[in-house]
Structure 1
Amino acid sequence: MEAFFIVLALVAITLTLALVVFASGRGKRSDGNLPPGSFGWPIMGETVEFLFGKPDKFVFDRMAKYSPDIFKTRILGEDTAVICGPSGHKFLFTNEHRYFTAFRPHSMQMIFRSYKEGAPPPAPAAQDEEAKVLRSPGFLKPEALVRYLGKMDSITQQQMQSEWEGKREVRVYPLAKSLTLTLACQFFVGTDEPERIARLVAYFDDITLGLHSITFNFPGTIFYRANKAAVAIRKELRAVIKDKKVAISSGTPMRDILSHMIMASDPSGKHMPEAEIADKIMGFLTAGYSTVATAMTFFMKYVGERPDIYKKVLDEQMEVAASKKPGELLQWDDMNKMKYSWNVLNEVMRLTPPLQGTFREALTDFTYAGYTVPKGWKVCNFTRLGATQPCQLL
């Protein structure tokens, strides 16, 4: 009984201190012409409504209540200004590095930056250097698709034959996830082992859900499952890294991003640690997993709902197919002939963007729509807002 009261007292003291810190922080940030809005509950802010409701409704309700241009809130542990609509989107991306720098929510930082646990967040300059190192071999440039296109076509045909051909009913999203992860593993990691990829699919589902979550790391929470999945993926990737090092030392030619990371060194000649390589590759695979699969799935959905558009897409694809010899794979010239299909895909991504929004951190105080956003606040724009009126692409 005595132990119970001690624990209860500690909890009460902790909550009291948290409320005092919260109140003092709120007093400091109340200076100036802040955007209208609410910081919600102490500590949690409005995170619960944001994560467990519908993000679109969360934003639209506050636009109607406070301002159609900008409002303040507290989500994912951060004071946040949500800039709304296409004009907000333009403002955010035309002032990159002037007012804003990249920001990853704490849940994302904890999942992907395990090799820096306990270290302070990297400075913007360090992030830029990381990006330069990763982009240097040209793997991420559009031109790289030219040499990968045939292999991508071959893998896609194999997957469709095994998963869709002859079936009365097909499930688009599971195939899309399996296909995109297979392609990502092939070109980022240089592996095409079906059993290993099948194991990874379930792990990446958990990670995707946990990227924007409350960082409660105990059994039963979304973040706990995501963290556990990240540990399992790192284990798989470290095994692949060891195999790669053996292959590289034997002189086997490698043309994937993982091999480049293993062999690359910084100006001082230091190679990247295995843990850091594993986390970066995991980030690449996650980025190339759910977003592409989501775009593919909604493409099928919207085209299936519009017979007129379906016919035009089918006619264009059949015209390209008719120009190919039996067994001949797609070439870059074939892709350039798919203009209508590409326009349809762009419209699909406009109506249902694979990413709901982007987070940035304010490098300095700035003014938008007559309101001042303080330095250090997080700034968010939701890409789906304003995309509900179909344009004339189709």
Structure 2
Amino acid sequence: MEMEMLILSVLVLFVSLYLFRMLNKNASRNEAGHHHQLQPPPGSSGWPIIGEGLSFTMTAKRGVPEKFIEKRRIKYSSSDSKGSNSSCKVFTTSLLRESVAVLCTAAGNKFLFSNENKLVHSWWPYTIYTIFPGLKKPDTHKDSIRLRKVMSPFFSPNCLQKHVGIMDGFTKRHMDEFWSDEKQVKVLALAKMHTFTLACKIFLNVEDPEVIAKLEEPIQHISAGFISTLPINLPGTPFNRAIRASKKVTKDLEEMVERRRIDLDRYRQSTATAADLDENNQDMMSKLLMDTYSNGRQMKETDISDIADKLKGLLIAGSDNVVTTICSMVIFLFQLPTVYDAVLKEQMEIADSKAEGELLNWGDIQKMKHTWNVACEVLRLEPPNPGTFREAMTDFVYEGYRIPKGMKLYWSVFSTHKNPEYFPDPEKFDPSRFEGEGPAPYSYVPFGGGPRMCPGREYARFTILVFMHNLVTRFRWEKIFPDEKMVMSPFLGPTRGLHVRLYPLPSTPSL
């Protein structure tokens, strides 16, 4: 009897497991079928091969990149039988020979940022992969997470405040040498020189002008290759120069990393303590090397190459984006005298509080609240980076539409930055938007968001504030070409290099 009951129990168990498995299969089929039945977001593939890329580029060059999204958001909005309008939250387009879903709302930004490495991961156009072949490595996402853990402490306010005096002293010397005795200057060129040299100091602990010049020229070719309208790898083209320049910079940085590795080895073998080692190696190159050493394994050749790649990216991001924001601020402060006067008042109060020769410190940066609000409004209206791409890691549903695995997604700052739903009277320059609680969550995203938020945002803030402090306390200025403006092609920059005429103020702080 007991044996019969045991057999019966086993049979019931197997039947139950079988039925449970079949129910799960049916549910999965129904869900898959449901996903398959759903339509992709509304949109257009545009012209053969070029898609809607020409329209995307032209609106950017006209200085109105938001029009590309606004026009399609209106076009694909719908109304129900009662006449109620339903605003379009996502549409498809064709860019870079890819079908791309464009998310149009702050909720869309939140969705992408919160689903990083869950439903989506980063994706770059083939031009970027060609210039930066290291991005193609299969472990790029894991490596990116590890890198951010290393960089986050370096770019934290607590760490960066140690560099404020260095930044200020460097900027004062730059102004003394290249601005003070000039009646006219080209802001773009000088700002590039300033920010790149400063990045070499902070990231590499390199101050030798010859070494910096050796890096700067190919870096400029790389940046030009990003915005090449004809990305063809033929000798003499900007794209080809960018590829060759990228290889050269990587090689030069690899040599620098290897020399630093040898120096660190010698330092470790000396009587120096771990605290001494950390105190004397505050730059990013040393931090990356020491992190690679932290697990006790020997440095590999691929480690040297990886670190060089990361430093190359930091040098580009740490200078280009800051430069464009400085140029935009120079234009807005000239065009808006009351805004300039308010910034000048705040900065002169700080300058007047300093003893002769005393450099800015962390407390001074904290006092520059209005100046940073102005910078934030500049970043809202003219963000250096218009947006980035993601790729669907799996099929999923967004706002009732099917997003298939492999489809590209694009989030743009202009979906929200110039949308009156989030910023009333969006074309008006109004720094007070950033007072109090500030903009609605996920509506203001010049530095991205989520796990991939720009790790250097605080570094950019410090660099911009220190530069503007030194500029406005020394000069007023006017544009030599009144109609010159910032345009995206596809990255932001002044159309003629931003020539300005300088008018020194009566009293100028000097180091």
Asked if these proteins are the same fold (TM beyond 0.5), I'd say yes
Q: CA deviation at 1:377?
A: 1.3
Paired position in structure 1 for 2:281: 254
Q: Distance in 2 between matches of 1:357 and 1:292?
A: 16
User: How is 1:216-295 mapped onto 2 (pairs within 5 angstroms)?
Assistant: 216-251=232-267, 253-263=280-290, 264-265=292-293, 267=295, 269-271=297-299, 273-295=303-325
Q: Distance in 1 between matches of 2:209 and 2:294?
A: 34
Q: Distance in 2 between matches of 1:125 and 1:239?
A: 25
Alpha-carbon spacing, 1:299–1:113, altered in 2? closer, same or farther (3 Å): same
Q: CA deviation at 1:185?
A: 0.7
Paired position in structure 2 for 1:37: 43
Q: Which SS does the other structure have where 2:139 is aligned?
A: coil
Q: CA deviation at 1:64?
A: 4.0
CA offset digits 1:25-84 (Å, max 9, x no partner): xxxx99741112223455554445545662544434433444543221232343211112
Q: CA deviation at 1:355?
A: 0.8
Kindly indicate whether the alpha-carbon contact (under 8 Å) linking 2:41 and 2:401 is maintained by their aligned counterparts in 1: yes
What amino acid is aligned across from residue 72 of structure 2 in structure 1?
A: R
Kindly indicate whether the alpha-carbon contact (under 8 Å) linking 2:131 and 2:246 is maintained by their aligned counterparts in 1: yes
Q: CA deviation at 1:127?
A: 3.4
Is 1:192 the equivalent of 2:207? yes
Q: Distance in 1 between matches of 2:176 and 2:36?
A: 60
Paired position in structure 2 for 1:17: none
Q: CA deviation at 1:92?
A: 2.5
Q: Which SS does the other structure have where 2:218 is aligned?
A: helix
Paired position in structure 2 for 1:24: none
Kindly indicate whether the alpha-carbon contact (under 8 Å) linking 1:203 and 1:233 is maintained by their aligned counterparts in 2: yes
Alpha-carbon spacing, 1:291–1:141, altered in 2? closer, same or farther (3 Å): same
Kindly indicate whether the alpha-carbon contact (under 8 Å) linking 1:40 and 1:74 is maintained by their aligned counterparts in 2: yes
2:72 to 59, 62, 86: 62
Paired position in structure 1 for 2:198: 183
Alpha-carbon spacing, 1:298–1:104, altered in 2? closer, same or farther (3 Å): same
CA offset digits 1:76-115 (Å, max 9, x no partner): 343211112444333322433443222233322332234x
Q: Which SS does the other structure have where 1:375 is aligned?
A: coil
Q: Distance in 2 between matches of 1:322 and 1:220?
A: 52
Q: Which SS does the other structure have where 1:63 is aligned?
A: helix
Kindly indicate whether the alpha-carbon contact (under 8 Å) linking 1:112 and 1:280 is maintained by their aligned counterparts in 2: no
Scaled by the length of structure 2, what TM-score is found?
A: 0.64
Q: CA deviation at 1:143?
A: 1.4
User: In terms of mean alpha carbon deviation, does 188-197 or 335-344 score higher?
Assistant: 188-197
1:208 to 223, 227, 236: 223
Kindly indicate whether the alpha-carbon contact (under 8 Å) linking 1:177 and 1:201 is maintained by their aligned counterparts in 2: no
CA offset digits 1:122-154 (Å, max 9, x no partner): 36445323433x337x21222111111110111
2:172 to 157, 162, 167: 157
Q: Distance in 2 between matches of 1:290 and 1:103?
A: 21
CA offset digits 1:304-341 (Å, max 9, x no partner): 11111111110111100111111111111111111111
2:351 to 315, 318, 321: 321
1:142 to 145, 149, 157: 157
Paired position in structure 2 for 1:331: 361
**Structure whose alpha-carbon radius of gyration is higher:** 2
What amino acid is aligned across from residue 252 of structure 2 in structure 1?
A: E
Q: Which SS does the other structure have where 2:146 is aligned?
A: helix
What amino acid is aligned across from residue 222 of structure 2 in structure 1?
A: I
Q: CA deviation at 1:240?
A: 2.0
What amino acid is aligned across from residue 59 of structure 1 in structure 2?
A: I
Q: Distance in 1 between matches of 2:304 and 2:54?
A: 36
Paired position in structure 2 for 1:378: 408
User: In terms of mean alpha carbon deviation, does 264-273 or 317-326 score higher?
Assistant: 264-273
Structure 1 portions without partners, runs of 5+ = 1-28
Scaled by the length of structure 1, what TM-score is found?
A: 0.82
Question: Which structure 1 residue ranges, 4+ long, deviate > 6 Å from structure 2?
Answer: none
Kindly indicate whether the alpha-carbon contact (under 8 Å) linking 1:177 and 1:289 is maintained by their aligned counterparts in 2: yes
Paired position in structure 2 for 1:360: 390
Q: Distance in 2 between matches of 1:332 and 1:120?
A: 39
CA offset digits 1:282-309 (Å, max 9, x no partner): 0111111111111111111111111111
Q: Which SS does the other structure have where 1:327 is aligned?
A: coil
Q: Distance in 2 between matches of 1:83 and 1:371?
A: 12
User: In terms of mean alpha carbon deviation, does 222-231 or 264-273 score higher?
Assistant: 264-273
Kindly indicate whether the alpha-carbon contact (under 8 Å) linking 1:102 and 1:360 is maintained by their aligned counterparts in 2: yes
Kindly indicate whether the alpha-carbon contact (under 8 Å) linking 1:299 and 1:348 is maintained by their aligned counterparts in 2: yes
What amino acid is aligned across from residue 312 of structure 2 in structure 1?
A: M
Q: Distance in 1 between matches of 2:211 and 2:71?
A: 44
1:310 to 318, 334, 340: 340
Q: Distance in 2 between matches of 1:277 and 1:234?
A: 9
What amino acid is aligned across from residue 70 of structure 1 in structure 2?
A: V
Alpha-carbon spacing, 1:30–1:38, altered in 2? closer, same or farther (3 Å): farther
Kindly indicate whether the alpha-carbon contact (under 8 Å) linking 1:189 and 1:257 is maintained by their aligned counterparts in 2: yes
Q: Distance in 2 between matches of 1:227 and 1:81?
A: 29
Q: CA deviation at 1:380?
A: 0.8
Q: Which SS does the other structure have where 2:157 is aligned?
A: coil
2:104 to 69, 81, 84: 84
Q: Distance in 2 between matches of 1:200 and 1:338?
A: 33
User: How is 1:13-32 mapped onto 2 (pairs within 5 angstroms)?
Assistant: 32=38
Q: Which SS does the other structure have where 1:108 is aligned?
A: helix
User: In terms of mean alpha carbon deviation, does 210-219 or 103-112 score higher?
Assistant: 210-219
Q: Distance in 2 between matches of 1:93 and 1:317?
A: 36
